[in-house]
Every structure is written in C-alpha cells, then in structure tokens.
Structure 1
Amino acid sequence: MKKIITICLLTAGFYACNSGTNDQAKTEAPTADSKVTAKADPTDTPEFHKGMDLVNNNDCKTCHKIDERLIGPAFRDIANKYPNNAATLDTLAHKIINGGQGNWGSIPMAAHPNLSVEDAAAMAKYVLLLKNN
C-alpha cells in the first residue's frame, strides 16, 4: 500500500512539474518577429491634452460633463454621435464659437466668440477623442 501511495505521489509530482511548460510558452513576451498590434491610446496624445486644458480653462464644464448630461449633452454622447473627421471638427469648432440650438434639445449653447478657430477645433478634437470604441 505504501508503494502505491508513493508511486501516485511521485507521478502527481512529475505531472505537476511538467504541466507548466506549455503555459510558459503562452505567456512569454512577444518577440520581434511576432506581430502585435496594440491600439494607440487617444488620451495619450498632445492634441488630447491641449483640448482638455482648453475645456478645463473655459466655461465648458458649467454645462457639460464627460459621461452624463448636465445642461448640455455629455461629451461622450457628442463623440459617439459624430464621426471624427475634418468636416465634423470644423462644424463643431464653429458651433463652439457661434453657439447653437436644436441639435440636443431646446436649450441653446452659449457662444464663445473670444475663442480662436484653432482653439475651438482643439476642444472639439478632445471631445471626439472621448468616443467609445
């Protein structure tokens, strides 16, 4: 009986030691030859930070939050509604400068005539980069 238990324990020990070798191959870091495509983090870009700084230093957060409606729509809802392209950036930049009404309800968006088109576009780009993927 002792021999059977000893053999079982030794067999289990050998099995346990050898079973990890295949798992190591699966968890090793990729080599230079392997193709790994990681999606770039849009929040880790200079344009994102520039737009975020402009939004934070203006009155945007009086009416908007990132993930929930306040007086105006949530920034993420805006990002999910519009495509991130040059035409949208131009349209949103001019809405930021001139104000607007009707796209998100009856409450008008205040005009920001002191902003440059470049700064308004940077703010719009920031908002569009908040899109859920």
Structure 2
Amino acid sequence: MASVYPSVNGEKLERFIASLPGVQNALDEVQFEIAARAEELLLQHRQEGHAQIDMVDGRIDKYVVLDDERGKKAALSIEYGRAESIVVKKAKDGSTYLDVIPASDGLFILARAANLPKKRKGKVHLD
C-alpha cells in the first residue's frame, strides 16, 4: 500500500508542486493569456485611459490586476459597477449643491478575461 506524505523536505506538498518550474511556466502562460484578453476588453471600454491591466507575481501565485491608481481609483466600480449616489459638493462661490452620480453596470473585465462567472461583490448575483 502506498503512503502519501503531507510535506516534502518540510514544505507542504501543495507549495512544493506549485513551485515546480513546469507549473510556474504554465501559470506564466495562463497569466499572460488572461492579461491579454483583459487588456483587449478594457480597450473596448476605455473612456479617459487611466485604468490599465497589470500582471503581478506573488511568491507562488500569479495575478492579473485592474489598476486605476492614476485615474479616479475606480477599479472596483469598473469591474463590478456602482449604485447611484448623491454627493454634497461645494461650488466656487462657497455654496453647496447636490450632485447625482448615476449608476453604472460593471464591465467584469477580469471575470470575463478569466472565464469566471460575473458576480457582484456582496449578495447580489448577475447573470
């Protein structure tokens, strides 16, 4: 009967397998493919041109990130959408007024690029 050990040289079996060069190369390829699809989808919806797709390498995992640090910091709203909101603003003359920011649907750039289901954060699910 064979035995399966939970670790290899003191390292968890999953981490050992994930760090193998062949596995890392496969992850690099998948990361690049997802990033390329995400960039293509983002270009179809680009308005001001601030958001971008980045590839980030962790110690083991690979990430594709929607980054809007240079723009309105709206990556979450770009991906999942937002509800209508009312904001109190100040005019140049010192008076205040209400500004309505309309709702927008999410573009699900990352979800579509990775062939994942479109799901909003929280309890609401979109099909």
Which structure is richer in relative contact order (CA contacts within 8 A, separation 6 or more)? 1
Same fold (TM over 0.5): no
Whichever of the two has the greater Rg, that structure is 1
Q: What TM-score do the two structures reach when normalised by structure 2?
A: 0.30
Where is the helix percentage greater, Structure 1 or Structure 2?
1
Q: What TM-score do the two structures reach when normalised by structure 1?
A: 0.29
